[in-house]
Structure 1
Amino acid sequence: MAASPFSFSPSRSFPPLRSFVPAMARSFSSSSPKHNGDDPQEPSLSNLEIVGARRALLSSFASLKKPYKPFPLIAWNRHVETIFAAFFRSAPDVALRRECLRTSDDGAVALDWVSGDDRRLPFDSPVLILLPGLTGGSDDTYVRHMLVRARNKGWRVVVFNSRGCADSPVTTPQFYSASFTKDLSQIVDHVAKRYPKSNIYAVGWSLGANILVRYLGQESHSCPLSGAVSLCNPFNLVIADEDFHKGFNNIYDRALARALRNIFKKHALLFEGLEGEYNIPMAASAKSVRDFDEGLTRVSFGFRSVDEYYSNSSSSSSIEHVRTPLLCIQAATDPIAPSRGIPREEIKENPNCLLIVTPQGGHLGWVAGDEAPFGAPWTDPVVMEFLEYLHKERATSTQNSYWDELNGARKSSSSVTVHIRS
């Protein structure tokens, strides 16, 4: 599996864990923007960091009327919260129908649709594409909860299982990577052709989020998506790699390397006899994700070194090119997607982007909100409200969405009252 050490799905082999540092959380909370009682547009959440020129629109979200409150005991420590979410979060039962799609390089990916929705839902229903984290797929609990929530709102949902994930077939000696967007591009085009009257949106977690944001930046003005959400995005993979090898994170590194080895072994015959800089024995016996990337990933995707792979695969450099409405949600204490790697200034300068950082959360955890501790992550209602907001504006506008109009107003220097965190 073309891996990165910082974006992965926690609910399969052994979860990457999150670090709750009380002092950091207190410092973060005290520096967060406070509610301005004189301004009705200002969101009331004093313990969230909110960045972006369009932050005022969040005031209309019911899910953001109350402060972020993690579930007691479970969320006191990043490791406890992430492990709990990975192993004890409920998994909604939903019947899926698999579609295997041949890629342009003769590879294959698997799309999991909700069974029967091709008959039950209107042909022009909005479509939501879900991109799980590294080694993740349609069985992951965080994916299932988002899928069910969107489906209950009348959205058509499809999970994009990357090569080798969730038993997706592998037909060529190449998996996927943090830098690889061609499969996603083909999936979006495929969905757009199948449902030409539908608006298409996407949500990505961890590695899936990094790939999604890179795709948004690459497509820029021609992106077919009407909106997107990035969750637990590592953003700066060099910084994320540095933190991944510190302290307790080494346990996750070894565990994830073991999971990657197991996936690789299922398809090892495809990699026999490869020439060039491949080091197949290193990948097959990798004790760390970096070893796996050195032996296989960086060579597969044309990088001269692992460091070059991480540097050139970071989605932080894509933010300035994003022209699609994008909401990014991060947790301040995430050791896998460090807070210091979040491109705050780039997000603040791009009128198409919004950022919410919670003081706690755990990697793919967020054990908070009305459904805690066993239900959906705190992020799900926020994500859905954002997507519904975008879709409503698309549906009610004759030419441009409200978001586009605001963007145009900003470019023409019109007076718009916003509150941007400095």
Structure 2
Amino acid sequence: MNELIRELSVYLDINLFDTRTSFLFALGCGAVYIYIYLCSISRKPQLITGATRLSQFLQRYCPVVTETYYPTFWCWEARVQTLLRPFITTKPYVEYRNELIKTADGGHISLDWSDSDDNALYPISTTRPTVLILPGLTGTSKESYILHMVKQSEILGYRCVIFNNRGVSGEKLLTPRTYCAANTEDLETVISHVQKTFVEAPLMAAGVSMGGMLLLNYLSKTGQQTPLKAAVVFSIGWDVFECTASLEKPLNWILFNYYLTNCLQASVNRHRHVLEKLFDIDYILKAKTIREFDERFTSLMFGYKTIADYYRDASPNHKLKSIEIPVLCLNALDDVFSPGHAIPTQSAKQNPKVALLLTAHGGHIGFLEGIFPRWATYMDRVFKQFIQAVFEHKDELKNT
């Protein structure tokens, strides 16, 4: 019996030692992770602009640009942030009013309006501030990131209108034409329509990913002639050559490129009866990458001789000098869709109307924060504070 007790005592001592060792090891690993997170992952964003006045305006009325961005500690990596946002964040309910407007070539564009008629902050519809929102490559007004932007606008009493690219939101394609990042004709039609509908209402725009690229290309083309008071863009691809090269890396192709290519092909196939008059649909459906899709379809549709010509024209990185209204551009330096080294920091410093806000982490349209990021993200906070600054302090903005 004594021998049995001794053996049991030794056994318990060994297991207690193992438990203590495991606990101390886990505690040590946790401490190291917290240290790395606080010192290397959580950082203040870089605010880059060529004008002291614009910088001061942003720091005064958009304090988020000076705050440390704490990405969700368990999913701060770029790909994880990008992949999880659509599944983690809620999809708040928004009741839209749909409108189809005609285009010069016989097509039509679907607009979804959130009028904020019940909001007491701006009871007069004719003068209610309006935000035009442009979704990403395959996005519509129903994307979670769009719904959150609309909700942020509603809190402030603003009207929103979402520009759905041709053929993506359920409407029929009337002509053999869709959309691209370089051609701004449809956007010009939409902006003109919105401005004429509410002549007295101040108007600004927000673009996400490809929508932001399209918006900057429009602004570089129109200069001071635009009716927009300001603009904000998120996670845009500055250099399309670098964007496609990044997305064609093996892991990125598996996680993102293949899926987006299939989405683009599905849209083409859905409108086959209209598009097959001008394009070889079966050949387009065999594309394995976005680059191949653009080469076989997008660049041809808009009259480019080569894919390189289209990508050069679609890239906003060399057009910043022509922008003449205040623009805030939020990008994460780890965005695999838009590599950090391709962001035109030097060009931004040469235009007093442009400000770059660069976070170390955030991925592509990710910017998750908080322990369980179900609601507003860092991107949503930037959006809300900037549009409020534009509309509530417009006189000061004019002087930047």
Above 0.5 in TM-score? yes
**Which structure shows the bigger proportion of residues in helix conformation?**
2
Call closer, same or farther: CA 1:292–1:362 in 2, change over 3 Å.
same
Task: Confirm or deny that 1:243 pairs with 2:240.
Answer: no
**Given that residues 137 and 211 in structure 2 are in contact (C-alpha distance below 8 angstroms), is that contact kept between their aligned partners in structure 1?**
yes
Give the C-alpha shift of residue 377 in structure 1: 1.9
- Which secondary structure does the structure 1 equivalent of 2:250 belong to? coil
The alpha-carbon deviation at position 246 of structure 1 amounts to 1.1
Alignment partner, residue 48 of structure 1: 45
The match for 2:299 is 298
Are the equivalent residues in 2 in contact too, given 1:142–1:376 (CA < 8 A)? no
Q: Is the Cα contact below 8 Å between 1:110 and 1:169 reproduced in 2?
A: no
Amino acid at match of 2:284: A
Does structure 2 conserve the Cα–Cα contact (< 8 Å) formed by 1:327 and 1:355?
yes
Equivalent position to 2:268, from 259, 264, 268: 264
Whole-angstrom CA distance in 2 between matches of 1:119 and 1:82: 33
CA distance in 1, matches of 2:204, 2:115: 19
1:179 deviates by 0.6
Contact between 1:145 and 1:376, CA under 8 Å: does it hold in 2?
yes
Q: Superposed, which structure 2 residues align to 1:21-420 within 5 Å?
A: 47-52=44-49, 53=51, 54-60=54-60, 61-64=62-65, 66-75=67-76, 77-114=77-114, 117=117, 121-122=123-124, 123-251=126-254, 252-274=256-278, 278-368=279-369, 373-394=373-394, 401-406=395-400
Question: Residues 327-357 of structure 1: CA distance to partner in whole angstroms, max 9, x if unpaired?
Answer: 0000010010111111111111101111100
- After superposition, the Cα gap between the structure-2 partners of 1:351 and 1:64, relative to the gap in structure 1 and judged at 3 Å, is closer
In structure 2, distance between residues paired with 1:272 and 1:405: 51
> Shift of the alpha carbon at 1:247?
2.4
Amino acid at match of 1:322: I
Hey, what's the Cα distance between the residues in 1 that align with 2:95 and 2:242? 39
Contact 1:63 1:382 in 2 (8 A): yes
SS at match of 1:167: coil
SS at match of 2:64: helix
Between the aligned partners of 2:207 and 2:171, the Cα distance in structure 1 is: 18
Deviates more, 1:234-243 or 1:111-120: 111-120
Paired-residue identity, %:
29
Shift of residue 242 of structure 1? 1.4
Q: Distance in 2 between matches of 1:50 and 1:115?
A: 33
Pair 1:273–1:94, CA change in 2 (3 A): closer
C-alpha distance in 1, partners of 2:116/2:64?
A: 30
Question: Secondary structure of the equivalent of 1:165?
Answer: coil
Two-structure CA RMSD over aligned residues (Å)? 2.1
Counterpart Cα distance in 2 of 1:63 and 1:151:
20
Deviation at 1:169, TM superposition (A): 3.0
Offset of residue 151 of structure 1: 1.3
For 1:116 and 1:387, how far apart are their aligned partners in 2?
15
Query: How far is the alpha carbon of 1:220 from its aligned partner?
Result: 0.2
Aligned partner of 2:33 in structure 1 is none
Q: CA deviation at 1:119?
A: 9.9
Which amino acid letter does the alignment assign opposite residue 101 of structure 1?
I
CA distance in 2, matches of 1:93, 1:281: 38
d(CA) in 1 for partners of 2:116, 2:202: 20
Amino acid at match of 1:273: K
Q: Read off the aligned partner of 1:324 and give its amino acid letter.
A: I
| Distance apart, 1:184 and its partner CA | 0.7
Q: Tell whether the 8 Å contact from 1:329 to 1:356 is kept in structure 2 after alignment.
A: yes
Q: What is the alpha-carbon distance in structure 2 between the residues aligned to residue 241 and residue 273 of structure 1? A: 29
SS at match of 2:393: helix
Relative distance call for 1:110 and 1:286 in structure 2 (3 A) is same
Return closer, same or farther for 1:55/1:291 CA change in 2, 3 Å cut-off. same
**CA displacement at 1:65 relative to structure 2:** 5.3
Question: Partner of 2:399: helix, strand, or coil?
Answer: helix
SS of 1:173's equivalent in the other structure is coil
Report if the CA contact (8 A) 1:142-1:377 is conserved.
no
Q: CA deviation at 1:170?
A: 1.2
Report if aligned partners of 1:283, 1:293 keep a CA contact under 8 Å in 2.
no
- In the TM superposition, what is the alpha-carbon distance from 1:367 to its structure 2 partner? 0.3
Q: Deviations over 1:354-377 (max 9, x none)?
A: 1100110021110025x9511122
Q: How far apart in 2 are the matches of 1:128 and 1:138? A: 13
Aligned length: 355
Q: Is the 8 A contact 1:109 1:169 kept in 2?
A: no
Q: Is the 8 A contact 1:161 1:168 kept in 2?
A: no
Question: Which stretch has the larger CA shift, 148-157 or 58-67?
Answer: 58-67
Letter in 2 for 1:332: L
Question: What SS does the corresponding residue of 1:159 show, helix, strand or coil?
Answer: strand
1:328 maps to amino acid: C
